[in-house]
Amino acid sequence: MNQVCKKWFRFFVIYGVFTLMGAGAFAVVLAPKLNKLATLEEQRDDMSQKINDKKKAIETLKIMQNRFENDAEFVEYIARLNRRICKHEFIFICVDD
């Protein structure tokens, strides 16, 4: 009976050592992958934020473009703001029919 217990004890010790070695090797292999995954997720989030900012800027530019095409007062405001025309100058707006 004593010999049987020793065999089982040896089996469980060897099994435990191999299990710990396998878990250690798994952690050594997996740790860099998890680190890279976290870095890539962070980069993805940054890129998504930049894309959303660019989309908002494009929408703003489209609104401005539409106003330039259709709103003469806005064109005058921008021209005065950018000092293309002075305060004492008059602007005549010609509308094509």
pLDDT in tens, 2-27: 776 777 788 888 888 888 888 888 88
**Cβ-contact 49, 43 below 8 angstroms:** no
Check residue 97 and give its pLDDT: 60
Structure tokens at 80: 């005065």
Torsion region of 85: left, alpha or beta (phi above 0 gives left; psi -120 to 50 gives alpha): beta
Check residue 89 and give its pLDDT: 75
Q: What is the pLDDT of residues 24-73, one digit of tens each?
A: 888 888 888 889 999 999 999 999 999 999 999 999 999 989 988 888 78
Structure tokens at 4: 């049987």
